[in-house]
Amino acid sequence: MDVNVKETARFSFSSQVCPGEEKRVGTRTVYIGHRSISETDAYIAPKFCDNRIISSKYTLWNFLPKNLFEQFRRIANFYFLIIFLVQVIVDTPTSPITSGLPLFFVITVTAIKQGYEDWLRHRADNEVNKSSVFVVENSKCIQKESEKIKVGDIVEVKEDETFPCDLIFLSSDNASGTCLVTTASLDGESNYKTYYAVQETASLSRPDQVDTLFATIECEQPQPDLYKFVGRLNIYNQNREYIARPLGHENLLLKGAKLKDTKRIYGVAVYTGMETKMGLNSQGTSQKRSAVEKSINAFLVVYLCILISKASVCTILKYVWQSISTNDEPWYNRKSQEERDAFKVLKIFTDFLSFMVLFNFIIPVSMYVTVEMQKFLGSFFISWDKEMYDKELGEGALVNTSDLNEELGQVEYVFTDKTGTLTENCMEFIECSIDGHRYKGQFSEVDGFSVIDGPLRYYGKAEKAREGLFLRALCLCHTVQIKEDHVDGLVVSDQGCAYVSSSPDEIALVKGAKKYGFTYLGVENNYMKVKNQENETEMYKLLHVLNFDPNRRRMSVIVQTSTGNILLFCKGADSSIFDRVPEEEVERTKVHVERNALDGYRTLCVAFKEFHPDEYEKINQQLDQAKMALQDREEKMARVFDEIENNMHLIGATAVEDRLQEKVAETIEALHAAGMKVWVLTGDKMETAKSTCYACRLFQSTTELLELTSKTLADQERKEGRLHELLLEYHKKLVQDCPRTKGSIKRSWSSQDFGLIIDGSTLSLVLNSTLNSNSSNYKNIFLQICQRCTAVLCCRMAPLQKAQIVKMVKDIKGNPITLAIGDGANDVSMILEAHVGIGVKGKEGRQATRNSDYAVPKFKHLQKLLLVHGHLFYVRIAHLVQYFFYKNLCFILPQFLYQFFCGFSQQPLYDAAYLTMYNIFFTSMPILAYSLLEQHITIETLTSDPKLYMKISNNAMLKWKPFLYWTALGSFDGLVFFFGVYFSFQSISLADNGQVFGNWTFGAIVFTVLVFTVTLKLALDTRFWTWMNHFVIWGSLAFYVFFSFFYGGIIWTFLRQQRMYFVFAQMLASVFVWLIIILLIFVSLYPDILLVTLKNLKVSNQKSAHMELPVLLSYRNG
């Protein structure tokens, strides 16, 4: 935050560039209250977007064309559209209805679903856009609709109201010019945040006062980062001279956030509508594609090739057959020789298209709708899971996208953050070191003692003045806010006061200082108040706050004491502090820092620096210039910070305990047992992270650790040479000397467990080596070493490096499925990079949750999410995909075989009604119910035996081997259906009156056997029966019989011809037909019955009956 008290800097109206700033580009100027600054120029309002929020995708006029365009981009839908058009244009053997109606059903269902979802978005948008707001006009508050707010309007917002757009905070009823805001609707952070008005506008607390403000705001163009804003406020006096004040994210009130514990505020609109940060963040991101979707596309290509092959074969054989004089066309279709010779090529092409139409149902267009419904409905099982509900948070698991449900069952690499993910992120002050002397105010659980609140406990003694300096640093160097009355969203400290901070570390340090007798009392009129051990209140003027950022890994404050001394207090990671203090001071404290890190504590070092008044004036000017910059402000401020935070003196260090979350160790062991590699990516120092890894059993006592860190590289002059030596040494040890069997690289490792530790600086060398020789192989050698390690710890990682590691592993040969899990904003990059991103609903806000695919309350819930939900989702959808291709092959193969017995005349085997309804009504519901409810193994077994996860790993059920298995099964059943009925028709009169049934009866018998077989096959594969399974399986069969009687028992006047009239009833009147149907169903299902019987016999001879898997896995080796 910027609470700097600056000297007034005045510039002439003509000067539009602050000192040191280059030409500005990509900025906007906002005139507050739409008042022109120049007396001579007329005010022309700049054109900005209005304040309407539009989260909807469609409008009434563009819904139909836009939705159709999007749906027909899918290859299967577009294919069926082409087939439908061919049927309409070309004289094909089947009615256009046979392909048009299924396509219409699929398109309509999807359009209704998407239209309803968009209608809900329209309704939500209108609730926001039509809400009432108050805008200051002519010194009065005028009520308007939210959508009518314009950039430059001065808006009044009252307590518990949400901000209607992005506002620059001008003033409030609070004399200090602050307000409390909760951004829970934006980033999920329940803690209250303090925002600040510029000092010159803070006193404008009434509409008539704020309406007198002559000012402009220059700021950056809209961008989606919630935590970044760069601008400046130019306040003009009567002489048109202005005072420039910097604006940052602490001055920007975001749309969607809510005002708390402040009666009213006034702010000027700078971003409206879809240009607000909330609007920019609501826009969709690129979708991730699962391995199952890729397999479906591959199988679809194969079946398209089969379709084209069938059509080509039949087209060729038709003309071969007709070339024989005795096999001429039927008498009713006979043409003259002139007609035959005319347009022969066109006739061949139309015949080919006719066969394509006849066999087009081999492509399962309805599968896409079923898959979407399965994913959408199946995702609710995750949200409804009571075992993944956390009572403390009052929240359960969250599904942000259902497209990756099955991917949860294919994870090979898990990348996890440490703080807040593996640990509680609930900090507790343990001890400190001052000038090399160790102090302990309480004993932690690590020591085996209970917590003791009492006088200062120390080992040795530093000077009292240094003790006071250290404790004052803890009380001053932070961004903690304090509130006397407890309200929701605040962390309550001792004696009823409440600390507000986005960092649990800072609260722990402030409370730790209080145990030693120094109490932080908050900020009043820009003065920080501290009560010392003598109960005296000390006042420190807050001059500057140098906020923490992950690159610097430290934060500082500059304060002025009551005696006029100007001090800088800095705290940060030892790696960011030690290089900036004298070496002799480091040696005194370093031993305690390393010892605490080995004990698993989070360590911070504290330093200070005193400025001479002239020196301060210089850095104050540099800070002001950097803060005024509209372009590259962050880079400029970083350079100034680096100069300020130099040549400091080390005071001491702190140790804070962050306990492991519940069942973290058990979860990691389960993930290892399931064949997953777990990598910890953290910004913590190596010793702390290493200790945590042992505590959570990522590293075992038998694990041999290999280190690639700054310490092991040692020599600064030849770091890359030493890295090259270590990489070759580890590669020889793990790869060359430990050969593996084929196929074991991804999911298993050698009997000797190895663990690897690497830090951020070494990783940079690996990825960006400058050595000429062998440098290109560094990355490959490193990856081969990592693949042979059971666990990898990456410490001192920057957020971007986390994403680089995930991408590096994603690109390994074989493209293993990766999962990243974290709780903080610094984890977002790796969450977005991984195949599956998991957010933990922790205490560092909800940026990770908002950017994730799934969110869980605790790390322990990852076990059930992957081993149970992931396993079941994958098995269900894999069975669904294979089953769809199988049943459509069974459906079309008899149609293909029938052409050999009808002179390739394109005569359909099935009636048009059967062709139309097969995929839509007769066979769709049983597989949908199966794919939602099936549990081939009990949930308890999946949880207790993680090794079952490996049986479905590497997309086992959707590889070419199972695909060929299902294709062979479909071919076998199709042959049985057709030839079984065909040979029964050879020499037997089937009707009681001796009449031989015709081709429509023949087709009806084949179709009946087909429907019953594919449905009963699914029943055989079902292991978990519910009333829903019974209802849809037996209900579908009953519906088919009822429909056939109903359709063939009534004369339908709107049909041109009714081929099936009384066919079904007459067919079932024959006992022989019943015998054929039952016999052929049994023959078709015999392989499945045999496999189930053999499997049950095998299981009965084994103790682990829970190892039973569906029939479709019976082919899998190992």
Nearest to 161 by CA among 26, 56, 257, 57: 257
**Cβ–Cβ < 8 Å for 668, 781:** no
* Pairwise CA distance, residues 221 & 219, whole Å: 7
Task: Report whether 936 contacts 875 (CB < 8 A).
Answer: yes
SS3 state at 335: coil
Active-site hit among 403, 417, 435, 911: 417
Q: What is the rounded distance in angstroms from the CA atom of residue 51 to the CA atom of residue 129?
A: 8
CA 801 to CA 1096: how far, in whole Å? 51
Under 8 Å CB-to-CB from 1023, ≥6 apart: which residues?
A: 934, 935, 936, 937, 1108, 1110
Round to whole Å and give the CA distance between 107 and 72.
9
**HEC assignment per residue over 805-852:** HHHHHHCCCCCCEEEEEECCHHHHHHHHHCCEEEEECCCCCCHHHHCC
Print burial letters for 184-194: b (CB count within 10 Å at least 16), e (below 16). bebbbbebbbb
Distance CA 338, CA 335 (A): 8
Amino acid at 513: A
Evaluate whether 272 touches 49 at the Cβ level (below 8 Å): yes
Q: Residue 398's beta-bridge partner residues?
A: 855
Query: Would residue 505 show up in a list of annotated catalytic residues for this protein?
Result: no
* Size (the chain), residues: 1118
In sequence order, the β-bridge partners of residue 490 are: none
CA neighbours closer than 13 Å in the CB half-sphere of residue 799: 16
Binding residues: 417-419, 506, 548, 571, 602, 682-684, 796, 802, 823, 826-827
Q: Give yes or no for a contact between 2 and 197, defined as CB atoms under 8 angstroms apart.
A: no
CA-CA-CA-CA dihedral for 733, 735, 737, 740, to nearest 10: 140
Instruction: Give the separation between CA 27 and CA 25, rounded to whole angstroms.
Output: 6
* HSE-up of residue 928 (Cα within 13 Å, Cβ side): 23
What distance in Å separates the CA atoms of residue 379 and residue 877, rounded to the nearest whole number? 13
Reference 259, options 393, 167, 146, 144; nearest CA is 167
- In DSSP notation, 275-320 reads GSHHHHHTS--PPP--HHHHHHHHHHHHHHHHHHHHHHHHHHHHHH
Query: Which residue ranges make up the annotated binding site for Mg(2+)?
Result: 417, 419, 823, 827
CA–CA distance, 405 with 746 (Å, rounded to integer): 22
**Residue 847 identity (one-letter amino acid):** Q
d(CA 631, CA 220): 8
Query: What residues are annotated to the active site?
Result: 417
